[in-house]
């Protein structure tokens, strides 16, 4: 693991949960915490619940959007305690740990947690490469936020003991920022070609986001795709 594994908490309502999550990640040997638009932070309650992990809170990044939190991430995994009707690939926490450690050999990974009440929004899930589903009681799947963080961090730690890094990839994975630029470009080309109608572009764009996020393009592949879009846009032909 050469690159950080970042725990990202989105719009957390209760500062106590932020503290408990900091403690959970530190017990498993992690320290990178990003808070997206927390309701209350810094907070005395968070410090109390963090117990001996106040250092993790002090070093936490606070940002306004999920996009900022994952800008440097090569793999973004969204956590869910329930199965969601979303078409991201679904991992269990053990598979998540394997994928995460493989990617962390070459680029930062973000594991993203939604709000206590509703979890991740569809828009947030559209920014993920995969979802991690924590198996739970179908009649009561209401895991505490910090418990979910604890389980994911535990699986990562468990896997680290067994893990041997795979072969280095030829090119680094595309970053979240590059993926956004690609999607903007794709949308432009789709409008210009008349394929997307301006009244309701969302549905098709979401489908395409899921497809490309699932593929986890590397930088070189993304350059090919951008080149293809540029070429289609200018309408140059050889013949």
User: Footprint of a copy of itself on residues 162-201 (CB under 8 A)?
Assistant: 166-167, 170, 189-195, 197-198
Q: Which of 70, 109, 143, 179 binds a copy of itself (CB under 8 A)?
A: 143
Q: Which of 44, 48, 52, 82 binds a copy of itself (CB under 8 A)?
A: 52
Q: Is residue 13 involved in binding a copy of itself (CB under 8 A)?
A: no
Query: How many residues interact with a copy of itself (rule CB under 8 A)?
Result: 71
Task: Examine residue 54 and tell whether it contacts a copy of itself (CB under 8 A).
Answer: no
The three state secondary structure string of the chain is CCCCEEEEEECCCCHHHHHHHHHHHHHCCCCEEEEECCCCCCCHHHHHHHHHHHHHHHCCEEECCHHHHCCCEEEEEEEECCCCCCCCCEECHHHHHHHHHHHHCCCEEEEEECECCCECCHHHHCCCCEEEECCCECCECCCCHHHHHHHHHHHHHHHHHHCCCCCCCCCCECCHHHHHHHHHHHHHHHHHCCCCCCCCCHHHHHHHHHHHHHHCCEHHHHHHHHHHHHHHHHCCCCC
Q: Does 214 bind a copy of itself (CB under 8 A)?
A: yes
The 59-88 contact track toward a copy of itself, x by CB under 8 A, reads ----------------------x-x-x-x-
Of 32 and 69, nearer to a copy of itself (C-beta) is 32
Find the binding residues for a copy of itself in span 121-140 (CB under 8 A).
Answer: 134-137, 140
């Amino acid at each position: 693991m050469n690159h950080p594994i970042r725990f990202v908490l989105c719009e957390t309502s209760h500062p106590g949960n932020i503290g408990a999550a900091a403690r959970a990640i530190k017990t498993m040997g992690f320290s990178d915490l990003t808070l997206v638009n927390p309701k209350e932070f810094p907070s005395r309650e968070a410090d109390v619940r963090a117990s001996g992990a106040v250092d993790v809170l002090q070093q936490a990044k606070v940002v306004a959007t999920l996009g900022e939190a994952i800008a440097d991430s090569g793999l973004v995994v969204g956590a869910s305690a329930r199965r969601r009707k979303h078409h991201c690939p679904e991992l269990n926490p053990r598979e998540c740990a394997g994928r995460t450690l493989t990617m962390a050999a070459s680029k930062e990974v973000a594991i993203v947690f939604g709000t206590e009440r509703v979890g991740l929004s569809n828009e947030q899930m559209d920014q993920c490469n995969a979802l991690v589903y924590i198996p739970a009681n179908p009649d009561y799947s209401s895991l505490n936020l910090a418990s979910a963080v604890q389980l994911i961090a535990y699986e990562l730690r468990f896997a680290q003991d067994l893990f041997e890094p795979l072969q280095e990839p030829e090119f680094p994975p595309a970053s979240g920022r590059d993926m956004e630029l690609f999607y903007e470009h794709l949308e432009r080309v789709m409008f210009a070609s008349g394929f997307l109608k301006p009244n309701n572009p969302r549905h098709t764009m979401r489908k395409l986001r899921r497809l490309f996020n699932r593929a986890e393009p590397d930088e070189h592949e993304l350059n090919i795709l951008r080149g293809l879009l540029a070429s289609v846009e200018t309408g140059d032909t050889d013949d």
